[in-house]
Amino acid sequence: MERKGIFKRKTKETDIEIEINLDGEGNYNIDTSVGFLNHMLELFSKFSSFDLKIKGKGDIEVDTHHIVEDVGISLGSVIKEALKDKKGIKRYGFSSVPMDEVLVNISLDISGRPYLVFNVPFIKGREGSFEIEDAKEFLKGFVNHLGLTLHINLIYGENLHHILEGIFKGLGLALKEAVKIEGKKLPSTKGKID
């Protein structure tokens, strides 16, 4: 069974098309009109081994908030679609990513219950037009539409670029583990994962 998905989202603020192959090789073609977000999603694709195509545009003349949030919503939605009935997946994934002076730990559960723990202190600074608040908005949309319980813990570190790289690489690594096929049954005693 192919684990692929296509998702389109169009609002008055954004227009996004996204394709994914969960059993890919980490190939990507990403253009969100926000350079730093492109870079983070390229890292996510490479470290998850998901093939990922994203074409997105939005009202970035106002701010990058709408496109960042809506790409998160779209990515969560397309992964949920590609997972189909979730039978056989490992379900849980973990990573610990060092990025120079930074260490980020990620724990996640494809549970059907969206919940985000974002244990990253506010750090002033921007990477282009991107900052920690943008990452949190992206992740809120992502977990809510995938049905993911996601815990992100910055153990230590100061450089904003390194922190964000650690988060997106770690998310890719943990999801790569969680979507692995280990058997044929649904990994739930309830018999259902939304």
pLDDT at position 53 is: 98
Distance CA 165, CA 39 (A): 9
Distance CA 167, CA 172 (A): 9
* Contact indicator for 74, 16 with CB cutoff of 8 Å: yes
**Consecutive H or E run containing 151:** strand 149-156
Percentages helix, strand, coil for the chain, rounded to the nearest 5? Answer: 35, 30, 35
DSSP symbols for 70-106: HHHHHHHHHHHHHTTT-TTB--EEEEEEEETTEEEEE
Distance CA 99, CA 181 (A): 29
pLDDT at position 127 is: 65
Distance CA 187, CA 164 (A): 31
Averaged pLDDT in 10-residue chunks for the chain of 194 residues: 94 97 98 94 98 95 90 98 93 97 98 96 71 89 98 95 96 98 78 72
> In this structure, which topology does domain 4-178 adopt according to CATH?
Ribosomal Protein S5; domain 2 (3.30.230)
* Contact indicator for 162, 99 with CB cutoff of 8 Å: yes
Contacts of residue 62, Cβ cutoff 8 Å, sequence gap at least 6: none
Distance CA 64, CA 33 (A): 9
Distance CA 178, CA 24 (A): 15
Task: Provide the residue ranges of all domains of the chain, joining segments of one domain with +.
Answer: 4-178
Contacts of residue 61, Cβ cutoff 8 Å, sequence gap at least 6: none
Query: Quick one: tokens of 74?
Result: 């779209």
Question: What three-state secondary structure class fits 119?
Answer: strand
